[in-house]
Amino acid sequence: GGQWDVPQLRDLLEAVLPEKTTVDGFDLSLRAGNLGQRDMVLNARRIEGGPEGQDQILLALEDVTDRKRAEASIHDREARLSAILNAVPEAILTIDQKGIIGNFSPGAESLFGYRAEEMIGKNVKMLMPEPEHNKHDGYLRHYVETGEKKIIGNGREMDALRKDGTRMPIRLTVSELDLDGVPHYLGIMHDLTTEKRRQAELQRAQKMEAVGQLTGGLAHDFNNLLTVIIGNLELLEMRSDDPKLLNLVRQALEASNLGAALTGHLLAFSKSQPLAPERVALNKLVKIMLPILERTIGEQIKIETRLADDLVATMADQGQIESAILNLAINARDAMPDGGTMSIETRNVTLDADYAASVVDVKPGDYICLSVTDTGVGIAADIKQRVFEPFFTTKGPGGGSGLGLSMVYGFAKQSGGHIELYSEVGQGTTVNLFLPARADAVAKKPGADLEKISEVGNETILVVEDDANVRRLTVTRLEELKYNVIAASNGSEAMKIFKNRKDIDLVLSDVVMPGGMSGFDVAKEARALRPDVRILLSTGYAKGIEAHREKMGEPAFTVLRKPYGLQELAKALRELLDRKDDSSSGANPPSD
């Protein structure tokens, strides 16, 4: 291939071999004529006493240029593949023919809650609930023995099991690959939790829309019939002097007017009612309505109000707001047959993009929120999905038309607002009615842009939340704010962690949780163990907050009302963590 350019080689031999008898595996680069620059590995040996009495040098040069290029290419491919795996949110893992995990991607760590070192060498069925857990090994054996493909190359939807024991819907795609001549399988798992929840919410919204269109059409036609009936009855009333006949006409008129009121409720639900939006000061309206509400719900129910001093105005139909408040109060009354407390609260709320993305038909922006809370029997989970449907009621025959909440729902949606309900059996219910804030009444909050949030930190926060979806969202938000996060699914689990971790600076807990421990109990026990720990409670309820404050003392906790935005969370955390001395801090910031 040409003459070797060997000054570097000569220098090496003159410098090394006089002192050493051998040189092994020495890397050097030589120019080899028309072959250009080549990477070489040199092995040399000095042979004493050659044929003419002179020492000789035996050289062995191996050209490793191509091998190094191949190794560099493989290294580059591995680096690119690793970068892709680190960036992909889906869980990617490999298993052998016995189901043993060989690779576990960062996306898999995030999705399942396990570290890679916990899973490599374990059977993949650890990630599967029953019945797939027990059937998986049989599936693999069947494929190895028969080659019949059921999942491989096809994909399927199924449930998977996280480390914390919660189930999640996933889409699983499996393909075959060959590793060093041994068959393996590559699995890609995509979390369908958000997609399934949004599908369910969309289906409910579509169902409500379809029912609304039907009821709106029926109500419109029925209104026309009632107009004719009422008009003719009024004419009969004017032309008759017969007392018996007049009595019959008036009973028919009364029933017709009740029918007209019923069609009005149906039009409200179907978002077809005529509205007359005007500027409304909600606090003033609530105060005016209090005497009416007190007469309506009776003496055995106490009414409490917490009205925000800085509440902005809204643009809505004042008559419909009054009707909505009355309907919510009646529902609260009926949920407390043995008496109790009804709370009416107002506050300014910003629904951010995170919240709007998780709920169908809600736009991010500024709202005012009217909350009506009762201390009654609560609503079961399966019933909560249906409470806004027309004619659905849990009050039994003669207990109600089932149109009260439907009307409030339709009014909220037609006004560009939103309605949500928090309830647990035995814990009472809170209904939140959101109405858009007047644009000219909302001052632009400095730093409201999420990208400009400066309230971040590096403290350690213990999150206590029984809802797996909310827990994951909260952890993600806190990590975005640079905090160290530990998560627990209930109060007892949280207290076990708290007792073993002395580095926890703040506990962020939901208030209403199953398992016997509420957020108030978590706060009380945590403060008893470490009086300096900060407590932030999050809740959709208004119930019980003030009573627990009185029992535990003012500095015991701060409350963040759901739904809250990332900006509100960041601000609340920093206000608590930067507080110098809880015992001298005075009253907590208001929960609204």
Q: Is residue 452 within 8 Å of 446, Cβ to Cβ? A: no
| Best-predicted range by mean pLDDT (67-81, 140-154, 338-352) | 338-352
- Which residue from 368, 355, 357 is spatially nearest to 567, judged by alpha carbons? 355
Residues 6+ apart with CB under 8 A from 44: 13, 16, 17, 22, 23, 26, 57, 58, 59, 60
25 vs 484 pLDDT, higher one: 484
- Sorting pLDDT into bands at 50, 70 and 90, what band is 372? very high
| Contact assessment for residue 513 and residue 466, using Cβ atoms and an 8 Å cutoff | yes
Q: Is the pLDDT of residue 124 over 80?
A: yes
Nearest to 405, CA basis, from 324, 292, 293: 324
Confidence of residue 214 (pLDDT cuts 50, 70, 90): low
Percent above pLDDT 90 for the chain: 11
| Alpha-helical regions (H) of 189-312 | 193-239, 243-269, 282-297
Q: Which two tokens stand for residue 326?
A: 């009355």
For residue 312, how many other CB atoms are within 10 A of its CB?
18
**For residue 212, what pLDDT band results from cuts at 50, 70 and 90?**
low
Pick 94 or 266 by higher pLDDT.
94
- Secondary structure (3-state) at 263: helix
451 confidence band (pLDDT: 50, 70, 90): very low
Which tens digits make up the pLDDT trace of 538-586? 877 655 555 555 555 555 678 887 777 778 888 889 989 887 654 434 3
pLDDT of 445 above 90: no
Query: Please, what is the average pLDDT of the chain?
Result: 77
CA 34 centroid distance within chain: 65
Task: Name the pairing type of β-strands 182-191 and 91-95.
Answer: antiparallel
In the sheet that holds 167-179, the strands lie side by side as 101-104, 91-95, 182-191, 167-179, 156-161
> What is the average per-residue pLDDT within 208-237?
68
Quick one: pLDDT at residue 414? Answer: 83
How many C-beta atoms lie closer than 10 Å to residue 70's C-beta?
A: 11
Residues 183-212 have a mean pLDDT of 73
Note the pLDDT of residue 589: 40
Higher-pLDDT residue of 364 and 359 is 364
Of 255 and 390, the structure prediction assigns the larger pLDDT to: 255
Question: In the prediction, which pLDDT does 460 show?
Answer: 93
d(CA 580, CA 577): 8
Locus of tokens 């071999």: 17
Residue 529 to residues 278, 496, 501, 588: CA-CA distances in angstroms?
Answer: 53, 12, 12, 21
Is the model more confident about 543 or about 128? 128
Q: What is the pLDDT of residue 588?
A: 42
Alpha helices in 428-565 (DSSP H): 468-480, 491-500, 519-529, 545-552
Q: Which amino acid is at 222?
A: F
Q: Please provide residue 304's backbone torsions phi and psi, each rounded to the nearest 5 degrees.
A: -115, 145
Beta bridge partners of 172: 156, 189
Handedness of CA 367, 370, 376, 380 (dihedral sign): negative
Mean pLDDT of 512-529: 85
- For 255-265, b/e burial (b = at least 16 CB within 10 A) is ebeebbeebeb
Angle at 341 between CA 336 and CA 344, to 5 degrees: 115
pLDDT of residue 504: 93
Report the pLDDT value the prediction gives residue 449, as an integer from 0 to 100: 45
Per-residue pLDDT reduced to its tens digit, 397-426: 444 555 667 778 888 888 888 888 888 788
pLDDT at 262: 65
Residues in Cβ contact with 130 at an 8 Å cutoff, skipping those fewer than 6 apart: none
